[in-house]
Amino acid sequence: MGKDTPLRSRSGKRPGEMAKDSSVRQPDGTQARQRVVTRWWLCAALGLALAPLTASSVPSPEPASLDRAIELLDGYAGESAMLEQAKRELDAVLKANPDSAKAYREYARYFILSGDSANGLGPMQLAEKSIDQAIQLSPDFAEAYVLRGHLYTLMGRLSDAEAALSKADALGTADPWLPLNWGDLRMEQGRYEEARAYCSKVVAQPPARLKARLAADDCMIDYHRATGHSELIEPVYQRELSYAPKYAWVHGNYAAHLLCTKDDFMAAEARSREALALMEYGAARTILTGALYRKWAASLDRKAMDEAKQAFDEAWSISQTHPVAVMSTACKGGPSVLAVMRASYETGRMPTQTPADAIRRAAEKAPNGAIGMFEIQVVASGRDATNIYLNSEADYRDPRNLTVRFGPAATKAFTKQFGQAPDVALKGKRIAVAGYARQQRIDFTVGGKPTGKYYYQTHLEVTDPKQIYLVQEAAESMAYRESVMPAAVGG
């Protein structure tokens, strides 16, 4: 699973074949001794015997095991047996030819994909050592630098990634992963238009190399999401499905988009089931479970209690995890998460938290915010040109204050539904709010210009009147639903 995401795997990428005229330079005696030490350490980590090495050693031809290992790594989509077989093939290559730079590079891919650790080092560190060894054996190995750039991007070492990819550019390669890895790096750096330009080079090519083409389209999905054009994502998924209909991750990633971005839980359920029919894997199960909990919430809203119980029971049978925890893992935020949290609160499964809890957790989770049901007494209110604010303290600047903020659309919807604006209808009331408590930086200004001094408020943004509950009315709703459907809410 890759960057979408926790639900999308991009780490399966591999550089292309080394150019046919690439050569392995012969080291002098000092370099040979250094290589013995390095190879001894790596072979110990890989569980291999160290073959003799002299300064005059000449690499033997690559055995067929290398091609089989590459094919297995290319085809990997979550099946651990394929990785283990690839490792056995690579062990055979290095036993026959300890100077195989290509085998060390492929071993780096194995570590990235498998997450294996050895000798106190994690998979990323082992992958780095494998790539270092490949480059030491073949200093002009452009594709090894391509993979090094990808690894350093995954590790957050962005300046090192830039240097590695620039070196690959200087050496020259037609490897499609070079522009794709540049695209990933530029996305991480927030240089979205440059990322789009790099990835478009591969999108324009026929999908002969499936993983590279999928990675290019995934890059475009990331670009559309980052630039606020989620409406352009759907056609990209449809394109992926047209040329990779049997690739489980495409169905699963599309299901995540349907659930988390579009709140289309019925389509997400169907698409996640298709993914699981192709391959059993955790991310698709999480999306299916989330879609079922979202169906549960929608059925409760319609008072379709039998349907709600059926959806809840199936979700619980897949994962005995709190509905909100499942949704937060699947989506990280959005309308589906809030809908399931509201259903959990209304059925007595979601306790409320205090303003102090909201302030503490928002600081801990900054800048993303902390999800929850937060209960406040509306003591004061305020307005500006666009927003209405409900405050838990008389002074909104009080560090203990939690502010509930209504934007123009939420204010209009609330007023239409209840006949009064939020600050009129709710002042003095005790309310519970479903949402994300987030820190809001407030700058001090002089003459309209920031002074450099600031403080933080904690805000709960309301986008839908359904996020707001009068505490007494909510308690009555809970009593009603418990009385007619106890089995559907307790697991």
Residue 248: the pLDDT is 94
Nearest to 460 by CA among 385, 386, 376, 340: 376
Q: Are 434 and 324 in contact (CB under 8 A)?
A: no
The CATH architecture assigned to 29-227 reads: Alpha Horseshoe (1.25)
This prediction has a pTM of 0.78
Pick left, alpha or beta for residue 157 (phi over 0 → left; psi -120 to 50 → alpha; otherwise beta).
Answer: beta
Q: What is the pLDDT of residue 481?
A: 44
Q: Which contacts of 230-235 are long-range, i.e. CB under 8 A and separated by 24 or more positions?
A: 230/261, 233/257, 233/261
Answer whether 29-227 and 352-490 agree in fold. no
Rg (the chain; Cα; Å): 27
Mean pLDDT by runs of 10 across the 491 residues of the chain is: 34 33 33 41 50 38 82 85 94 93 96 87 95 97 98 97 98 96 97 97 82 94 96 96 94 97 97 96 96 97 96 97 95 92 93 95 93 95 96 95 97 96 95 95 89 93 94 60 39 35
pLDDT of 26 reads: 32
Q: Show Cβ contacts of residue 98 under 8 Å, excluding neighbours closer than 6 positions.
A: 39, 43, 50, 51, 53
Residue 171 near residue 22 (C-beta atoms within 8 A): no
Separation of alpha carbons 235 and 332, rounded Å? 23
Domain locations in the chain? 29-227, 246-348, 352-490
Q: Are 414 and 465 spatial neighbours (Cβ–Cβ below 8 Å)?
A: yes
Tell me which fold the domain 352-490 belongs to.
OB fold (Dihydrolipoamide Acetyltransferase, E2P) (2.40.50)
pLDDT given at position 473:
64
Can you give the pLDDT at residue 209?
81
pLDDT for res 79: 81
Contact present, 218 and 4 (Cβ < 8 Å):
yes
In angstroms, rounded to a whole number, what is the distance separating the alpha carbons of residues 352 and 402?
14
Rounded Cα distance between 434 and 159, Å, is: 41
> How confident is the model at residue 43, as a pLDDT?
54
The one-letter code for the residue type at 85 is: Q
Residue 386, classed as helix, strand or coil, is coil
